[in-house]
Amino acid sequence: MQAPFDTRSRDLIARLCQAFERAEPVLESTALKRAAVALTLVPTEAGEVGFVLTRRTPKLRTHSGQWALPGGRVDPGESADGAALRELDEEVGLRLPASAIIGRLDDYATRSGYLISPIVVWAEEAGRMQPNPDEVASVHRIALTVIAAPDAVEFVEIPESDRRVVRVLIDDRRIHAPTGAFLYQFRELLAGRTTRVFDLEQPTFAWK
Protein backbone atom coordinates (compact mmCIF):
# COMPACT_ATOMS: atom_id res chain seq x y z
CA MET A 1 0.00 0.00 0.00
CA GLN A 2 1.63 3.23 -1.17
CA ALA A 3 -0.05 6.22 0.43
CA PRO A 4 0.96 9.64 1.72
CA PHE A 5 0.96 10.08 5.47
CA ASP A 6 -2.15 12.22 5.70
CA THR A 7 -5.69 12.27 7.10
CA ARG A 8 -7.13 10.47 4.10
CA SER A 9 -4.75 7.55 4.53
CA ARG A 10 -5.42 7.46 8.26
CA ASP A 11 -9.17 7.29 7.70
CA LEU A 12 -8.80 4.54 5.10
CA ILE A 13 -6.60 2.38 7.33
CA ALA A 14 -8.86 3.02 10.32
CA ARG A 15 -11.89 1.84 8.33
CA LEU A 16 -10.08 -1.32 7.28
CA CYS A 17 -9.10 -1.97 10.90
CA GLN A 18 -12.64 -1.37 12.12
CA ALA A 19 -14.00 -3.83 9.55
CA PHE A 20 -11.56 -6.51 10.72
CA GLU A 21 -13.15 -9.05 13.08
CA ARG A 22 -10.61 -10.30 15.58
CA ALA A 23 -10.52 -14.02 16.29
CA GLU A 24 -9.91 -15.78 19.57
CA PRO A 25 -6.67 -17.80 19.56
CA VAL A 26 -7.12 -21.52 19.08
CA LEU A 27 -4.52 -22.36 21.71
CA GLU A 28 -5.43 -22.40 25.40
CA SER A 29 -4.49 -18.96 26.67
CA THR A 30 -5.39 -18.93 30.38
CA ALA A 31 -1.86 -19.89 31.49
CA LEU A 32 -0.10 -17.46 29.19
CA LYS A 33 1.30 -14.13 30.33
CA ARG A 34 -0.27 -11.14 28.60
CA ALA A 35 1.76 -8.78 26.43
CA ALA A 36 1.04 -6.09 23.85
CA VAL A 37 2.87 -4.47 20.95
CA ALA A 38 2.28 -1.23 19.10
CA LEU A 39 2.15 -1.49 15.30
CA THR A 40 2.86 2.21 14.98
CA LEU A 41 2.22 4.02 11.71
CA VAL A 42 4.55 6.94 11.08
CA PRO A 43 5.71 9.02 8.11
CA THR A 44 8.79 7.79 6.27
CA GLU A 45 11.46 10.16 4.98
CA ALA A 46 9.59 10.16 1.66
CA GLY A 47 6.34 11.17 3.36
CA GLU A 48 4.66 7.78 2.90
CA VAL A 49 2.90 5.72 5.54
CA GLY A 50 5.38 3.46 7.29
CA PHE A 51 5.71 1.61 10.58
CA VAL A 52 8.17 1.50 13.44
CA LEU A 53 10.48 -1.51 13.66
CA THR A 54 13.12 -1.86 16.38
CA ARG A 55 16.18 -4.03 16.89
CA ARG A 56 16.36 -5.27 20.46
CA THR A 57 19.62 -4.62 22.24
CA PRO A 58 21.97 -7.59 22.68
CA LYS A 59 22.10 -6.79 26.40
CA LEU A 60 18.59 -8.17 27.01
CA ARG A 61 18.24 -11.49 28.80
CA THR A 62 15.66 -12.91 26.37
CA HIS A 63 15.14 -12.41 22.61
CA SER A 64 18.20 -10.19 22.45
CA GLY A 65 19.09 -8.76 19.06
CA GLN A 66 15.77 -9.72 17.51
CA TRP A 67 13.62 -7.47 15.33
CA ALA A 68 10.41 -6.40 17.05
CA LEU A 69 7.56 -3.95 17.30
CA PRO A 70 7.67 -1.75 20.42
CA GLY A 71 5.94 -3.62 23.22
CA GLY A 72 6.17 -5.72 26.33
CA ARG A 73 4.35 -7.31 29.21
CA VAL A 74 0.94 -6.05 30.35
CA ASP A 75 1.19 -4.90 33.98
CA PRO A 76 -1.43 -5.97 36.57
CA GLY A 77 -4.58 -3.88 36.16
CA GLU A 78 -3.39 -2.54 32.80
CA SER A 79 -5.15 -3.00 29.46
CA ALA A 80 -3.42 -4.21 26.31
CA ASP A 81 -4.03 -0.76 24.79
CA GLY A 82 -2.42 0.95 27.76
CA ALA A 83 0.55 -1.40 27.76
CA ALA A 84 1.21 -0.87 24.05
CA LEU A 85 1.20 2.91 24.42
CA ARG A 86 3.33 2.79 27.58
CA GLU A 87 5.93 0.53 25.98
CA LEU A 88 6.00 2.74 22.87
CA ASP A 89 6.89 5.68 25.10
CA GLU A 90 9.42 3.73 27.17
CA GLU A 91 11.20 2.11 24.22
CA VAL A 92 11.34 4.86 21.59
CA GLY A 93 10.18 8.00 23.40
CA LEU A 94 6.95 8.33 21.45
CA ARG A 95 4.15 9.36 23.82
CA LEU A 96 0.67 9.15 22.30
CA PRO A 97 -2.88 9.47 23.62
CA ALA A 98 -5.42 6.65 23.58
CA SER A 99 -7.12 8.38 20.64
CA ALA A 100 -4.12 7.41 18.49
CA ILE A 101 -5.27 3.78 18.52
CA ILE A 102 -7.08 2.93 15.29
CA GLY A 103 -7.30 -0.86 15.37
CA ARG A 104 -6.37 -4.24 16.83
CA LEU A 105 -5.20 -7.44 15.17
CA ASP A 106 -5.47 -11.06 16.34
CA ASP A 107 -3.68 -12.14 19.49
CA TYR A 108 -0.73 -14.48 19.00
CA ALA A 109 0.45 -17.13 21.47
CA THR A 110 4.24 -17.47 21.56
CA ARG A 111 6.36 -20.50 22.36
CA SER A 112 7.92 -18.54 25.22
CA GLY A 113 4.60 -18.34 27.08
CA TYR A 114 3.04 -15.03 26.09
CA LEU A 115 -0.25 -14.06 24.49
CA ILE A 116 0.53 -10.89 22.56
CA SER A 117 -2.11 -8.34 21.53
CA PRO A 118 -1.09 -6.15 18.55
CA ILE A 119 -2.47 -2.61 18.71
CA VAL A 120 -2.46 -0.45 15.56
CA VAL A 121 -1.50 3.15 16.34
CA TRP A 122 -1.40 6.26 14.15
CA ALA A 123 1.40 8.58 15.27
CA GLU A 124 0.32 11.99 14.01
CA GLU A 125 3.30 13.67 15.64
CA ALA A 126 6.05 11.08 15.27
CA GLY A 127 8.87 13.61 15.62
CA ARG A 128 12.33 12.32 16.41
CA MET A 129 12.21 8.99 18.22
CA GLN A 130 14.77 8.30 20.93
CA PRO A 131 15.55 4.62 21.52
CA ASN A 132 15.95 3.53 25.12
CA PRO A 133 19.51 2.09 25.15
CA ASP A 134 18.57 -0.43 27.83
CA GLU A 135 16.06 -2.09 25.49
CA VAL A 136 16.51 -0.88 21.91
CA ALA A 137 19.62 -0.91 19.75
CA SER A 138 18.07 0.91 16.78
CA VAL A 139 14.76 2.26 15.45
CA HIS A 140 13.68 2.06 11.81
CA ARG A 141 10.83 3.49 9.74
CA ILE A 142 9.73 0.93 7.15
CA ALA A 143 7.35 1.92 4.33
CA LEU A 144 4.19 -0.17 4.01
CA THR A 145 5.12 -0.73 0.37
CA VAL A 146 7.99 -2.93 1.55
CA ILE A 147 5.74 -5.52 3.21
CA ALA A 148 3.17 -5.21 0.40
CA ALA A 149 5.65 -6.47 -2.21
CA PRO A 150 4.66 -9.82 -3.78
CA ASP A 151 7.82 -11.52 -2.51
CA ALA A 152 7.84 -9.94 0.96
CA VAL A 153 6.37 -12.95 2.77
CA GLU A 154 7.63 -16.51 2.71
CA PHE A 155 6.85 -19.73 4.56
CA VAL A 156 9.29 -22.49 5.43
CA GLU A 157 9.00 -25.86 7.14
CA ILE A 158 11.05 -27.07 10.09
CA PRO A 159 11.37 -30.62 11.40
CA GLU A 160 10.48 -29.56 14.95
CA SER A 161 6.88 -28.55 14.08
CA ASP A 162 4.06 -29.33 11.67
CA ARG A 163 3.22 -25.61 11.52
CA ARG A 164 4.72 -23.35 8.86
CA VAL A 165 7.29 -20.76 9.90
CA VAL A 166 6.41 -17.32 8.55
CA ARG A 167 8.95 -14.63 7.85
CA VAL A 168 8.66 -11.20 6.31
CA LEU A 169 11.57 -10.00 4.20
CA ILE A 170 12.64 -6.40 4.74
CA ASP A 171 15.81 -5.60 2.80
CA ASP A 172 18.31 -8.17 4.09
CA ARG A 173 16.36 -8.84 7.27
CA ARG A 174 14.11 -11.85 7.95
CA ILE A 175 11.41 -10.87 10.42
CA HIS A 176 9.94 -13.95 12.10
CA ALA A 177 6.82 -14.47 14.19
CA PRO A 178 5.43 -13.04 16.34
CA THR A 179 6.47 -9.75 14.69
CA GLY A 180 6.42 -11.34 11.24
CA ALA A 181 2.94 -12.74 11.89
CA PHE A 182 1.59 -9.32 12.84
CA LEU A 183 3.13 -7.66 9.80
CA TYR A 184 1.79 -10.40 7.53
CA GLN A 185 -1.74 -10.08 8.92
CA PHE A 186 -1.61 -6.29 8.65
CA ARG A 187 -0.43 -6.52 5.06
CA GLU A 188 -3.38 -8.82 4.32
CA LEU A 189 -5.81 -6.48 6.09
CA LEU A 190 -4.63 -3.53 3.98
CA ALA A 191 -5.25 -5.64 0.86
CA GLY A 192 -8.83 -6.30 1.99
CA ARG A 193 -8.19 -9.91 3.04
CA THR A 194 -8.88 -11.57 6.40
CA THR A 195 -6.00 -13.93 7.11
CA ARG A 196 -5.46 -15.71 10.42
CA VAL A 197 -1.94 -16.16 11.77
CA PHE A 198 -2.25 -17.99 15.10
CA ASP A 199 -1.34 -21.28 13.38
CA LEU A 200 1.94 -19.88 12.05
CA GLU A 201 5.14 -21.04 13.74
CA GLN A 202 8.17 -19.29 15.16
CA PRO A 203 11.76 -20.38 14.45
CA THR A 204 13.26 -22.56 17.16
CA PHE A 205 15.62 -19.82 18.38
CA ALA A 206 12.54 -17.87 19.56
CA TRP A 207 11.00 -20.76 21.51
CA LYS A 208 12.71 -19.84 24.80
- In this predicted structure, what is the pLDDT of residue 39? 98
Secondary element (H or E) of residue 144: helix 144-148
- In this predicted structure, what is the pLDDT of residue 135? 85
Structural domains of the chain ordered from first start: 7-148 (3.90.79.10)
Percent of the chain whose pLDDT exceeds 70: 93
Q: What is the pLDDT of residues 39-67, one digit of tens each?
A: 999 999 999 999 999 988 756 555 456 88
Tally the C-alpha atoms within 13 A of residue 49's C-alpha that lie toward its C-beta.
28
- In this predicted structure, what is the pLDDT of residue 134? 87
- In this predicted structure, what is the pLDDT of residue 207? 77
Q: What is the pLDDT of residues 22-38, one digit of tens each?
A: 987 655 556 899 999 99
Q: What is the pLDDT of residues 83-134, one digit of tens each?
A: 999 999 999 999 999 999 999 999 999 998 999 999 999 998 777 888 988 8
Residue 196 CB coordination number (10 Å):
13
DSSP 8-state secondary structure symbol assigned to residue 201 = B
- In this predicted structure, what is the pLDDT of residue 31? 81
**Cβ–Cβ < 8 Å for 179, 185:** no
- In this predicted structure, what is the pLDDT of residue 25? 65
pLDDT (average), residues 2-23: 95
- In this predicted structure, what is the pLDDT of residue 109? 92
- In this predicted structure, what is the pLDDT of residue 30? 65
